[in-house]
Amino acid sequence: MDEALLEPPATTLAGAELIAAKVRHLPHQPGVYRMLGAKGDVLYVGKAKDLKKRVAAYAKAGHAHTARIMRMVALTREMEFVTTASEVEALLLEANLIKRLKPAFNIVLRDDKSFPYVFLKMGHDFPQIGKHRGAKKPGTEYFGPFASAGAVNQTLNALLRAFPLRNCTDQMFESRSRPCLQHQIKRCSAPCVGRIDAASYQRIVDEVRTFLAGRSHDVQDRLKAEMEDAAERLDFEQAAVLRDRLKALAHITANQGINTDTVADADVIAAHASGGQVCVQVFFYRGGKNYGNKAFYPTGSQGSSPGEVLETFAAQFYSDRAPPRLVLLNETPPQLELLSEALSARAEAKVRVLVPQRGAKRDLVEIARSNAEQALARKLAEGSAQAGLLRALAERLELAAPPARIEVYDNSHIQGRHAVGSFVVAGAEGFQRQAYRTFTIKDEATVPGDDFAMMREVFRRRFARLVKEDPERDGGSWPDLVVIDGGQGQLSAVRGVLDGLGVADVALVAVAKGPDRNAGREVMHMPDRPPLMLESKDPVLYFIQRLRDEAHRFAVSTHRAKRGKAMQASPLDSVPGIGAKRKKALLLHFGSARGVQEAGLKDLEQVPGISQKVARHLYDHFHEQG
């Protein structure tokens, strides 16, 4: 890409006049343009084969623009341009910028969480198998993607029954002195304690790779032959083991969903529009097996055809992940060949983008389209019900308007230890899990177990940041309603913090549990108003209970994760220079980390692999800390 940034002279013009002035300085080259608003916010990102011709179209008064485009042009106060070497590069850059900047007038792929994979970590005598989400690492093989954590967990559990590989970390592997529970339930062959040699373990690894590559019948046929051979040799114990592995493989293949012989590796993408919204369904097929599907709801798609939505969606979807060799669509994108070129450039291999009209491939596309239609119908129905609840909530609490963003706060701790505060977010589309946040209670002035002080710390940190980062409240991060799990005391504590920060116009409600903590008898406390109790069968009360329960669930799960991490920590982990092998030797010799801490210098020197220098280092570390 040509990194030359085109900077036409600054101007005080706006809208179509500004665009016309910019056009005079643009070249007849491919590139990307950005339209900026009055505050410098990016309104739109577009790509062009010819920048001069494409941008000039926005300035033509007689051009058939939609109302949305006319509004975008009217709001434009500045434009920025980047030239590229080709239209393919322009398409890829456009997708990257849309994903990063999320302009208001673009079709934006929102739920952009990475997909999980099954991985095999090589470079070890006994490779590890497990689940991975995020950036791929060298020396590791990945199989997928799977549509959800549930899908990959189900497959991984079944794989371990069929292929008993270790799924523990290298550190845990090195520190084991006896088989773990995974071996007891026959999901690991216990290589950590020598229950299987490296060659036999590698054969299982090869079987996993063959199976996940789509050649499941090869693995099953080989296991059947081995089982029959073991039975003929009267080795019934080995035959039973192989029989159980075959059963596990049959379970995997039977639960892969819609399997197909039509394609090996392919993504099937279909869009369906209704009610001013669009749903895009993506089905993942690897090795002829369905690895699940996921629904997406791109924003800013009004006025765009399904083909345009699919083109923009695919460009963004594959901007940070490699596409398979085949992508099937249910509608033809305006620039099908360009999209295929761009995906091929991303994959560094030939990618075919097809819109099948008949046959088995068309059946796969129709399945995806039907799922998109059904998912969108459910979403529209749920959205209508959610909007009704928000209107009713505003009426019950006497709010000026239905809240667009609700934040629900809760704390969790055990006698003040591992204390965390957190909030969940809900709105017109239900819970917005990507917006959930946690706070580790770290103020030294906060007395352990003081719920009021913890709540004050959480609100001080949360709203001080909002005041600093979004004082104009136009970033969409300010809540319209704050719900607190507690009573009048918690409400007073929170109100004091907000008053101190100059935040006086955020609606507050504290939800106290009813007498004897009975659900259905909650009392709502609001500033300068008498307490409110809703009817036990009021849908708004159920809605508030769901909000509170979700906040409690999230706070407790966060606390448990923090506590569990602390419980798993070993005093030996904090000693510099003590790696997995030395740690294993010390634990085998003394039986526990406490035994190492209490050992004398001479005792430490007797441990195999522990030199006098390391023993002195260990002894000084624990005695200085004690």
Could you give the dihedral angle defined by the CA atoms of residues 559, 514, 526 and 545, in that order, rounded to the nearest 10 degrees? 60
Asked if residues 521 and 533 have their Cβ atoms less than 8 Å apart, the reply is: yes
Residue 8 confidence (pLDDT): 45
- What are the residues facing 121 on neighbouring strands? 128, 140
Contacts by 466-473, CB closer than 8 A, 24 or more apart: 466/503, 467/501, 467/502, 467/503
Residue 36 belongs to what H/E stretch? strand 31-36
CB atoms < 10 A from the CB of 562, how many? 18
Q: What is the CATH number of domain 571-625?
A: 1.10.150.20
Q: What is the CATH number of domain 405-566?
A: 3.30.420.340
Residue 24 confidence (pLDDT): 82
388 to 178, 394, 395, 431, 564: CA distances (angstroms): 58, 10, 11, 16, 40
pTM for this prediction: 0.53
Instruction: List the one residue out of 356, 354, 360 whose CA is nearest residue 339.
Output: 354
Domain 5-101, CATH number (from 2.130.10.10, 3.40.50.300, 3.40.1440.10, 3.30.70.20) = 3.40.1440.10
Query: For tokens 């050992």, what's the residue?
Result: 599
Instruction: List the one residue out of 472, 469, 498, 494 whose CA is nearest residue 483.
Output: 494
Helix%, strand%, coil% for the chain, nearest 5 = 45, 20, 35
- What are the residues facing 83 on neighbouring strands? 31
Q: What angle do CA 244, 250, 251 make, to 5 degrees?
A: 90
User: How far is C-alpha 459 from the geometric centre of its chain's CA atoms?
Assistant: 26
Asked if residues 282 and 369 have their Cβ atoms less than 8 Å apart, the reply is: no
The span from the CA of 21 to the CA of 454, in Å, is 56
Q: Maximum CA pair distance of the chain?
A: 92
Which backbone phi and psi does 165 adopt, to 5 degrees? -95, 160
528: which 2 tokens? 């300068």
Strand order across the beta sheet in which 5-6 lies: 5-6, 78-83, 31-36, 42-48
Instruction: List the one residue out of 605, 620, 563, 608 whose CA is nearest residue 581.
Output: 608
Asked if residues 436 and 425 have their Cβ atoms less than 8 Å apart, the reply is: yes
DSSP state of 517: G
Q: What is the CATH number of domain 266-284+294-377?
A: 3.30.420
Residue 515 identity:
P
By three-state DSSP, how is residue 267 classified? Answer: strand
ω into 402 cis (within 30 of 0): no
Asked if residues 106 and 98 have their Cβ atoms less than 8 Å apart, the reply is: yes
User: How far is C-alpha 74 from the geometric centre of its chain's CA atoms?
Assistant: 36
Mean per-residue pLDDT pooled into runs of 10, the chain (626 residues)? 47 77 85 88 90 88 72 88 84 82 80 75 89 84 76 78 86 86 87 90 86 70 80 79 72 51 81 86 81 81 85 88 90 92 89 91 88 80 79 91 92 67 87 86 70 87 88 82 89 91 90 67 88 86 88 81 59 73 78 76 84 84 63
Which residue ranges does the chain devote to CATH 1.10.150.20? 571-625
Which residue ranges does the chain devote to CATH 3.40.1440.10? 5-101
- Whole-angstrom distance between the N-terminal and C-terminal Cα of the chain? 60
Residue 255 confidence (pLDDT): 46
Residue 364 identity:
L
Which backbone phi and psi does 476 adopt, to 5 degrees? 80, 10
The span from the CA of 409 to the CA of 483, in Å, is 6
User: How far is C-alpha 453 from the geometric centre of its chain's CA atoms?
Assistant: 32
